[in-house]
Structure 1
């Protein structure tokens, strides 16, 4: 992953597409309250499709092309498939899925379309959770962005404590677990059953504390600024289905 000034254009493009899509959906709803219009559905499909294309191109294009090269090699087919020179932009999944969440909320009539472009752009690019999440619900964050914020000592104190806990999860538990996990996984044939089981358990702890740490740091940073982010990472390992797993912990 990397960040470059030109990748800000992707953020701007996703923001503009979903902003315009929301306004169009809102306008169509006034003409067609039952939302049965062909244009109502096609607007959503078009806006979602453009955003998913951006993600697919930057995250999976070389992966798919690599599979095609491997298949061609196995089948002894002389097929020249180029390598696309792309680098995955930091946070692309988080801000695109947050923007798509807003658009779907407008489509479902859970919220009204945001008419202030700058306020909507701030929602999509809200920096505490821009790079590593958590993905925030539009109906929770947009209304907070509309409120005037003033310095609040208690918010700052609570936010810093939350951030401290997040750093503990990430730097003390996750990163320390990674040391043993990486050592075992690098030479797994040299280790026995108990050691492999221990490494697997620690790996589960590592990725949990990684994501939980990032989310907690983001929540703390937002709290310092006077914003309350929703809890969207809650005991994913105790989920009983893929649906509840997605609700309890978002891994993007």
Structure 2
């Protein structure tokens, strides 16, 4: 008898298993992972450098893993913060997977790391489907990308626990329709908090770091509607057991 296998679902189910193992590994080290997702050119790396610099200055043990298809440019930039940084080269893969991340962390993550920032590959499609064992998932969009990003990429923004607007110092220059953007965010993810930032001027960076630290201390975070729907349709393993759900996947 022939049996049809959905390879995409099989890959996601395997990733969910790896994400669960990674979540347990991070919990055992009291490390909180923050998954940063955006399109290329959103200013994600510049903002992350500011976050790391401020965390280091405040005495908060922080580290970062950054993923790209090629080059170690982002890791070089982030290392200027003084925080430990690792680069993952995906060799053409458009997203990070939990197994890739865990393989890098097991031999590298410094003892005592409280915050682990994961800069995902610049892409608003593929990364949305992959749980990385994170505590907090953030979707970023710059004002230069236009105000329709949330409704064009509903999975990326609909599964986020926080939405961050970047490059706000350019909003007037590019004619950013702020209310349209915010309306789109609420359409795909009702109730999700939105923070506005500028790495250039420093606007909103302290507020963003404070929000992340509150999440690290266990303060209740937003649960997206899409994530709640997902919990009703958990993947079943071949042995009939159901995976332990994470915050998002």
TM-score (norm 2): 0.27
* Structure with more of its chain in strand, by fraction: 2
* Structure with more of its chain in helix, by fraction: 1
Bigger relative contact order, structure 1 or 2 (CA pairs below 8 A, ≥6 apart): 2
The structure with the largest alpha-carbon Rg is 1
TM-score (norm 1): 0.27
